[in-house]
Structure 1
Amino acid sequence: MRSARLKEPKIVVAAIDFGTTYSGYAYSFLHDFKKDPLKILATRVGRGGGEDKMPTTILFTPNGEFHSFKYDAEDKYAKLVANDMHIGWSHFSRFKMKLHAQQKIRRAMELTDDQDHKMPAMRVFAEAIKYLKNQLLDSIQEKVSDIQDTDIHWVLTVPAIWDDGAKQFMREAGNQAGIPDNQLDLALEPEAAAIYCKAISTKKDGSSFDPGTQFILVDLGGGTADITVHTVEESGNLTELSPPSGGPWGGTKVDVAFNTLMEEIYGKSVISSFNKDNKEDALDIIRDFEEKKRVFKAYETVTFRVPSALVEELENSGRTLEKNISGTIYEGKVKQRRDKMHIEGSVISALFDDVKKNIIQQMKEVLIQHPKVNTILMVGGFSESDIIKQAVQKAFDLKKVIIPSEARLAVVKGAVMYGHNPSVIISRSLPYTYGVSVAVGFDDSKHPRSKRVFKDGFYKCEDNFKVFIRAGDTVIPGKTTVRHVCNASSATSANIEIYRTKSKKPIYVDDYGCSCVGSIQLLLSDISSHTTRPIEITMSFGSTELSVQANEEQNRNNAVVAKFNFLH
């Protein structure tokens, strides 16, 4: 079982917002939090300390050792490529989404870099978190030199729409990065942002988040769009009204669309060759687009610098930009003059169409279920995009749309506040139905013959979904528990498979949409007995992660180690 969080509050809470495109961190001291919860230090981590976030990019040497992170990793790798010295080095960026893309996450899963080198994903994530942890620790010790590792409670942020396996993967990566299990919490990104936004609004005027206020929070990051709905209780704490929803509709989708645009303008082979042989120039184009993406307005013509290497690649192909776009939708809308490319606003706007459609459609579906919601909070780096802001305001013109001045820091600052006071989230709405497979007495009138088995002297129906807790149920952190008794033989250990589905009324564990997502692993301390022993398992729901404990039903002093395992 995952170690319980230490009861004594730590001197410092430090949060790491591990993002798809950018990462950042923040912290606050307990004595400051008690006086002013918003006194949070978000350290300057970009170039020359001038930015609050850094690229989630990591570089390893040819012998597999960690070399660098953030801009250092990007710049070093670009220079290695420019000098044809990059062979054997491993460069990874935007790898967080691998945990969203995988249906079943394996502890031994691998990441592949642009040279087709493979490296254990756990190692890549752990080294990235370790770098962020050490940088943050240095920042804290600059303020208070005698702070020890044991004085800090750490918080890692994760998307609310991630499943249990992805959360467990991040926790284990944090452990491998040197963060003790009992000093680590996972915070759901939109929840953290909601905590922060409510706090800053209350401090300013108190009008937006009176008790009873219902609001939808849309967390738009590089990889995902995370959508939650909360209500403010009389105490000022938050209750989640429906399970988190969303999808892979972050800013990187627009980046992919931009790369496709470049391929259509210059030719796929030209762009492929350019990206492969001119990493530094290709990186400059990506950074240029990233900046313009945030501030771009639909009516503007956007100008990009065209590297000479890209011009040469196009010339070597025997084509010109004019020939490539002649007769296409880009004719007259894309022009190149010397080292500048000018693209009409309508072309750039179209790059946002897919993510806009998905985000707004999902918001509409959520708001249909919650008609009393009048306030929309938008946070995350992608929410700074003028195109996205206008699209949301137009689609929901009767709602109050709030975008905090520090929208991209709302998650990490809220995570610090959550680390100090997890009880600010009173309850959550469960996104899945959980249960186990059991066999019951066979009944010809309701059970299919295909599931009939003869066992223990009786005909039984197997694969029945015994529900522990249903999707949509309101669960309270630390209080909502489910108990289940199973028989364990004299073996040293036993596994109970856990099934999950979106359905509220599953019948069999092999119904459509049902899947085995993990197991409860039991380790028996007394293996001398040769009799079947009932084991009482208590599962806790409502926190950001599921937890479990077990005891022998007839001998509670005989310990049984139990833990969820959602990694395959």
Structure 2
Amino acid sequence: VNRDKKLHPRDELPSCVIALDLGSRGSGYAYWIREESEFVRIGNVDGVSSCPASHKAPSWVMFDDLYLDGDEDGESADSIRPGFGFQALDKYLTDDAHGQLSWRWREHFHEAKSFPYTLDSKASDDDLIFMMKSAIRHYARQAMEQISQRRRGAPQGSTVTLIAIPSTFDQRARQLVREAALESGFLKESDSIALIEDSIASGLYALHTLKSKINKESNAKEMSYLSVDCGASYLHFSGYQATEGKLRQLLLPRSDPLIDSPESLFEAELSTVFTPNYIFNYQNKYKAGWLKLMTEFEHAKNRYDPLSRQNYYVFVPSSFVDHFRRFTSMEVEDALESSDMVWSKTGAIGIPHWKMQRFLQPLLDYVNDKVVTSMKKHKFEHLVLTGGRAGAKFYVDAITATAKGFGATLHVPKEYNAAVLQGSTISVTNLAPRLVIRSRFSIGVGVMTPFSDEIHPEEKRVMRDGKSWCADVWDSLIKADQELELNRVIIKRSYVGAQPGQSLLVLPLFKSPDEPKFVTESSVQKCCELKFTSGQRAWQEVELVLVCRPSELLIKAMDGGVMKSYVVVDFTD
């Protein structure tokens, strides 16, 4: 090691940023370009979204059998391209469609109950990657087309693509997402992929929405807030304190799966009334009908008013009625007679107000408990509520009362359902706050150093060209609990080969919850390794540059200021 610089300059701004939020219920994209650096653009999606006040399309995908069997990159016919959103549903309903309608990628990583738009059994990793890379390609192409229109030409320079993921995703899940993005085919060598946890993205957007309001209300130098983003299948929450121009985490960002969601409880009620066998059979045989039924339930639950005593009607597809008659030799109306729900002559299931409340209350209690627990840990001044659930008055009123009980003010941004998209895009641009993240572990490189009889154990002695070296020494890059600032260069360090003329330099990277002396200690885990090859030089030298990203550490191998390779270390336990 011949040079060590601990600097905190800002990493170079990319030419453009594309953010993708491929959610359980809705998917969309946003983008930022350097020429319009003060604006985040939300992408335009095709079709009418079922997500309230959103810029997303439903997360449904239709793959044709021809597409699955062939090389999608070599085909251009629209008939064999995958369809997304309502386009996917339209393709599925055509007479000549031979394929599958599904969407499963987030729920693939946990074994919770089924969700509204989860229709297939747990997919294999290959199927999952195939589905993700198709979706990434679809939305990235739309983003690049809109960027080209604004710039009147193709983007010049590097592009950073951010993909939002739940905080619960482990190393395997994150690597599958990266693999799908790399296989999507739209990235250039100069481009990079970054993952950002939903909870961090929504937390950054929360600050962005609070800035103008806080500046008008007071000149306080410090401000704390709790960010709660409730989506279709996950609850994302995080807490921050803004002080002296920096944003520090008060609560570790989390993503918890929603178990007793209104949709899963409604599905369980349908199974009780119409039998589990029929519901399972209908879901698999009439996927389009099931999607329609759950969409109608979504509209009904969003109309819920605790002061009203009316029934809430869910219109039932004709395929549900006809298939139930063939499957059981009964009518839907007869099956409902033994339940608390009623049948309408207009072809709808009437849900009493008290039962609709039972569908909604468990999720509300769950979110409320999280808010109360967080408020007891820290006295937050503000609570920012985002996500698709923030469009329901029932939830907003209840969370408002809880926040007031702790002296906090509730904020629901106008674009509450685009919080993850907005925050993801902001995170690597000039709009990003000076977010300080505490490293969950130490990162080090395994090196050889001159052997010292006073400090090195004899078993680590290695002889090379008549010289004594100590092998497996831990050379620390960052330490556990060290403060890392978002988009800042944390450290620059140069390494040289142990011998002159060594053309291949291998740098193994390790992580540990402690600060070990050697990489062979039990607490040390190998992350990856950087291999660096160069021309005929007397000494091979490589400079490592560490940059903090929202949910990962970017380690670049540089030669004369040019990046030759890079690796990513996730901020996961």
TM over 0.5: yes
User: What is the letter of the counterpart of residue 42 of structure 2?
Assistant: A
Give the one of 4, 15, 19 matched to 1:15: 19
Mapped pair 1:379 → 2:386: yes
| Aligned residue runs from structure 1 range 157-236, under 5 A | 157-159=163-165, 161=167, 162-177=169-184, 178-180=186-188, 182-184=190-192, 185-203=194-212, 206-207=215-216, 210-235=220-245
Q: Is the 8 A contact 1:246 1:362 kept in 2?
A: no
* 1:468 CA displacement: 7.8
Distance 2:125 2:166 in 1: 28
Q: Is the 8 A contact 1:549 1:562 kept in 2?
A: yes
Structure 2 partner of 1:52: 55
* 1:334 CA displacement: 0.7
Range moving further from structure 2, 542-551 or 465-474: 465-474
Q: Please give the secondary structure, in 2, of the residue aligned with 1:150.
A: coil
Distance 2:390 2:155 in 1: 35
* Unpaired runs of at least 5, structure 1: 103-110, 439-453, 458-464
User: What is the letter of the counterpart of residue 376 of structure 1?
Assistant: L
* 1:376 CA displacement: 0.5
Deviations 1:74-118 (A, max 9, x none): 2212x15xx5x655x24331423335679xxxxxxxx99569898
Counterparts in 2 of 1:366 and 1:243: CA distance versus 1, 3 Å: same
Give the one of 291, 312, 316 matched to 1:306: 316
Structure 2 partner of 1:149: 155
Q: Is the 8 A contact 2:164 2:424 kept in 1?
A: no
Q: Is the 8 A contact 1:475 1:542 kept in 2?
A: no
Distance 1:323 1:134 in 2: 50
Give the one of 258, 261, 285 matched to 1:249: 258
Structure 1 partner of 2:276: 268
Distance 1:424 1:351 in 2: 39
| Aligned residue runs from structure 1 range 141-540, under 5 A | 141-144=148-151, 146-150=152-156, 153-159=159-165, 161=167, 162-177=169-184, 178-180=186-188, 182-184=190-192, 185-203=194-212, 206-207=215-216, 210-235=220-245, 237-249=246-258, 253-298=261-306, 299=308, 300-315=310-325, 316-319=327-330, 331=339, 333-338=340-345, 339-371=347-379, 373-396=380-403, 397-398=405-406, 399-421=408-430, 423-430=432-439, 432-434=440-442, 473-477=482-486, 478-480=488-490, 496=508, 498=510, 519-523=527-531, 525=533
Q: Is the 8 A contact 1:484 1:537 kept in 2?
A: yes
Distance 2:160 2:535 in 1: 37
* 1:414 CA displacement: 3.2
Distance 2:268 2:552 in 1: 38
Structure 2 partner of 1:24: 28
Q: Please give the secondary structure, in 1, of the residue aligned with 2:552.
A: coil
Structure 1 partner of 2:102: 92
* 1:148 CA displacement: 0.8
Deviations 1:241-265 (A, max 9, x none): 3321231128x94323322221112
* 1:377 CA displacement: 0.4
* 1:340 CA displacement: 1.6
Deviations 1:262-298 (A, max 9, x none): 1112111222222233233222112212333434334
Q: Please give the secondary structure, in 1, of the residue aligned with 2:413.
A: coil
Q: Please give the secondary structure, in 2, of the residue aligned with 1:222.
A: coil
| Aligned residue runs from structure 1 range 98-113, under 5 A | 98-99=108-109, 113=120
Q: Is the 8 A contact 2:225 2:383 kept in 1?
A: yes
Q: Is the 8 A contact 1:213 1:232 kept in 2?
A: yes
Mapped pair 1:135 → 2:150: no
Range moving further from structure 2, 17-26 or 382-391: 382-391
* 1:213 CA displacement: 0.5
User: What is the letter of the counterpart of residue 317 of structure 1?
Assistant: T
Distance 1:302 1:284 in 2: 16
Q: Please give the secondary structure, in 1, of the residue aligned with 2:221.
A: coil
Give the one of 120, 123, 130 matched to 2:130: 123
Counterparts in 2 of 1:493 and 1:387: CA distance versus 1, 3 Å: farther
Distance 2:289 2:564 in 1: 58
Distance 1:537 1:143 in 2: 36
User: What is the letter of the counterpart of residue 156 of structure 2?
Assistant: T
Range moving further from structure 2, 478-487 or 217-226: 478-487
Distance 2:111 2:510 in 1: 21
Distance 2:337 2:13 in 1: 69
Q: Please give the secondary structure, in 2, of the residue aligned with 1:351.
A: helix
User: What is the letter of the counterpart of residue 275 of structure 2?
Assistant: G
Distance 1:488 1:163 in 2: 36
Q: Is the 8 A contact 1:493 1:523 kept in 2?
A: yes
Counterparts in 2 of 1:20 and 1:345: CA distance versus 1, 3 Å: same
TM-score, structure 1 length as denominator? Answer: 0.73
Structure 2 partner of 1:443: none
Q: Is the 8 A contact 1:521 1:565 kept in 2?
A: no
User: What is the letter of the counterpart of residue 17 of structure 1?
Assistant: D
Mapped pair 1:62 → 2:69: no
Mapped pair 1:548 → 2:555: yes
* 1:301 CA displacement: 2.4
* 1:337 CA displacement: 2.6
Structure 1 partner of 2:466: none
Distance 1:247 1:561 in 2: 35
| Sequence identity (%) | 16
Q: Is the 8 A contact 2:503 2:534 kept in 1?
A: no
Q: Please give the secondary structure, in 1, of the residue aligned with 2:390.
A: helix
Q: Please give the secondary structure, in 2, of the residue aligned with 1:420.
A: coil
Q: Is the 8 A contact 1:211 1:234 kept in 2?
A: yes
Q: Please give the secondary structure, in 2, of the residue aligned with 1:131.
A: helix
User: What is the letter of the counterpart of residue 154 of structure 2?
Assistant: Q
Q: CA RMSD in A?
A: 4.8
Distance 2:171 2:491 in 1: 17
Counterparts in 2 of 1:493 and 1:470: CA distance versus 1, 3 Å: closer
Distance 1:254 1:175 in 2: 36
Q: Please give the secondary structure, in 1, of the residue aligned with 2:270.
A: helix
* 1:345 CA displacement: 2.5
* 1:218 CA displacement: 0.9
TM-score, structure 2 length as denominator? Answer: 0.72
* Unpaired runs of at least 5, structure 2: 1-8, 73-80, 113-117, 447-457, 462-473
Deviations 1:482-523 (A, max 9, x none): 98999999997868574567x999xx9999xx895x622132
User: What is the letter of the counterpart of residue 437 of structure 2?
Assistant: R
Number of paired residues?
512
Q: Is the 8 A contact 1:56 1:93 kept in 2?
A: yes
